[in-house]
Amino acid sequence: MHTSPEEAAWHSPVMAVDHVDLVRSGRLLLDQVSLVVRPGEHWALLGPNGAGKSTLLSLLGAQRHPTRGEVHVLGHRLGRVDLRELRRHIGHVDPRHPLRSSLTGRQVVLTGATGTIEPPPRWTPREDEETRAAHLMRVLGVERLGEARWPDLSQGERGRLLIARALMPAPRLLLLDEPATGLDVSAREQLLSGLDRLRGEQPALASVLVTHHLEELPATTTHALLLRGGQVVSSGPAEEVLTGKAVSTCFDHPIRIDRHDGRWVARAAPPAPPDLG
């Protein structure tokens, strides 16, 4: 049976990490980590401080090479591809965006078309780029910020603009590094609602979201990986991984997990009753 290129792309992994170790300055930061992300999957990457989450995300974002093992991103094996070119096809959202000038929200989003922090000199966006930027800002609920200046925006507003910026080149993979850090409840919920709308509109998009907190996971999260000390504690469909037992093991503390309306809530588990026998 003939398979079209579009169908093949849908079934092919967006990324595959195979028994990867990463050593820096004699320290083993990742230890035999494996992960496969397919189109339409939305992964949560969770673990305590120092677990290796940001290190793993740097591999997925083609920022560094593994010491041992293989990493394939968008069909290319790291070590055999120009990382700079590969990174152009990955949407990477970093809340520590190093913008220094007073660009408008619209200008910030449009820099996603050029892959630069500032608009290049004498560059003018095409009509289709303007249209896409406006559309993405509507999806993420920040269309009113088109003329607002970057220094005047809240962290939550900046976060949603940066997601729109990352989506400008229509990447197949979106990486989100703790996007809800520092947000109040209202800003966090607006961010997560925007991600849910985005995922519904772009069914082939794959994403990986790093966080410490289950409450920061969108309801559209499909899979999860728990990382501790550079090792995988559990990995797979979210409802199978985000359990009290697995999360308690990952964070080395008894934790109870509840789920309401598709969202997760974590709290300390009550102590076991004393054994009076």
Q: Which residues contact 124 (CB under 8 A, 6 or more apart)?
A: none
3-class SS at 175? strand
Q: What residues contact residue 148 under an 8 Å CB cut-off, 6+ apart?
A: 104, 105, 157
Hey, what are 258's tokens?
A: 């509840």
- Collapsed DSSP state (helix, strand, coil) of residue 42: strand
| The pLDDT of residue 30 | 96
Reported as a single tens digit per residue, the pLDDT across 68-92 is 999 999 999 998 888 888 888 899 8
Cβ atoms within 10 Å of 35's Cβ, excluding its own: 22
Tokens, residue 121: 């000199």
pLDDT in tens, 45-70: 999 999 999 999 999 999 889 999 99
pTM: 0.88
Domains of the chain: 1-63+172-182+200-271 (3.40.50.300)
